[in-house]
Amino acid sequence: MWRDAWLPGLEKGQSAQSIDINYTLVSDLIDVNTYTWQADVVNSLFGSDQARRVLSMPLSRFTQEDEFLWQGDNTEEYLVRSGYKWLVSNTGDGTECANTSQNNELRVFYNRIWNLKLANKIKITFWRIANNFLPTLSNLVPPRVATSSWCPVCSDAEETVKHLFCDCAVITQVLNALLVPFAPSNNTNNWKLWLVKEFVNSSLDKCKLWMVVFWAVWFNRNSAYHEGVNQQAYGIVAFVKKHTCKNWTVWIRFYKRFNVLRVAFGSHQRDLK
């Protein structure tokens, strides 16, 4: 009961005031004689909001087998079609898109990702990043898998997907060195919608390079966390360039285009030439 998302409205594991090893299953919270929640136990283990959610769940007076129910829509039955529909219309934090234009942007976003000529491992890693499905430390701390959520790359902030792939000093340096920084005007709060906005408003070449960068940054983060090997930004830049240069024509076309833009707008990054 400490790790599974069994409480309605909460996507991740439950966080208790104090984990008590005497209680491991949800059934431990139920009085089997009266078929009611043991309110005193629930209140002692969970915060007031979570305790309220537990106690408001009705309990059946009849014994029946547990079964899995699909929560993505009101059919309660999972189909691949409904799973896909849920994924393309979900903002990544368990909520649906607010309007049709967000839905359309998500559709464009997914079409772009899957149609790019990139290795599947890069696309899948990127899809996991966009949906916050990576085992970042902030995702591991609530179910007590990790003890600290501090970024293993810069040690400067909590390690969330937004931090690693948008705010961390390392990704900022890498993107600046490659001349593909994110738009400073994008102030969308939700991580996935922020990413979608960046991608649907940029060229395909830029999206492709970002995806390779994300993949390299996650690779570096794993080396830093598991092996203590933390490359500097220039190491990641070299890695990305080497990977991208496997297809010289694409890279040269891309680089020329951004060089031209840089000259046209008189970029402050001239000293990086």
Residues in touch with Zn ion (CB under 5 A): 151, 153-154, 168
CB of 98: closest distance to Zn ion in angstroms?
30
CB of 163: closest distance to Zn ion in angstroms?
6
Q: Can you say whether residue 82 is alpha, beta or left, with left for phi > 0 and alpha for psi between -120 and 50 degrees? A: alpha
For 90, list phi and psi in degrees, rounded to 5.
Answer: -105, 140
CB of 168: closest distance to Zn ion in angstroms?
3
CB of 42: closest distance to Zn ion in angstroms?
38
CB nearer Zn ion, residue 50 or residue 231: 231
CB nearer Zn ion, residue 161 or residue 240: 161
CB nearer Zn ion, residue 50 or residue 138: 138
- Name every residue whose Cβ is closer than 8 Å to that of residue 28 and which is 6 or more positions away in sequence: 1, 22, 41
CB of 213: closest distance to Zn ion in angstroms?
15
Cβ neighbours around 66 below 10 Å, total: 7
CB nearer Zn ion, residue 126 or residue 225: 225
CB of 153: closest distance to Zn ion in angstroms?
4
User: Quick one: how many helices (H) and strands (E) in the chain?
Assistant: 12, 2
Q: Can you say whether residue 17 is alpha, beta or left, with left for phi > 0 and alpha for psi between -120 and 50 degrees? A: alpha
Give the C-alpha separation, 207 to 109, whole Å.
10
CB nearer Zn ion, residue 1 or residue 174: 174
For 74, list phi and psi in degrees, rounded to 5.
Answer: -90, 10
User: In 131-203, which ranges are continuous DSSP H helix?
Assistant: 137-140, 161-162, 169-177, 191-200
CB of 200: closest distance to Zn ion in angstroms?
26
CB nearer Zn ion, residue 59 or residue 169: 169
CB nearer Zn ion, residue 195 or residue 233: 233
- Name every residue whose Cβ is closer than 8 Å to that of residue 267 and which is 6 or more positions away in sequence: 179, 261
For 158, list phi and psi in degrees, rounded to 5.
Answer: -65, 140
Residue with tokens 């890279």: 251
CB of 226: closest distance to Zn ion in angstroms?
16
Q: Label residue 27 exposed, middle or buried (CB < 10 Å: 0-12, 13-18, 19+).
A: exposed
CB nearer Zn ion, residue 14 or residue 231: 231
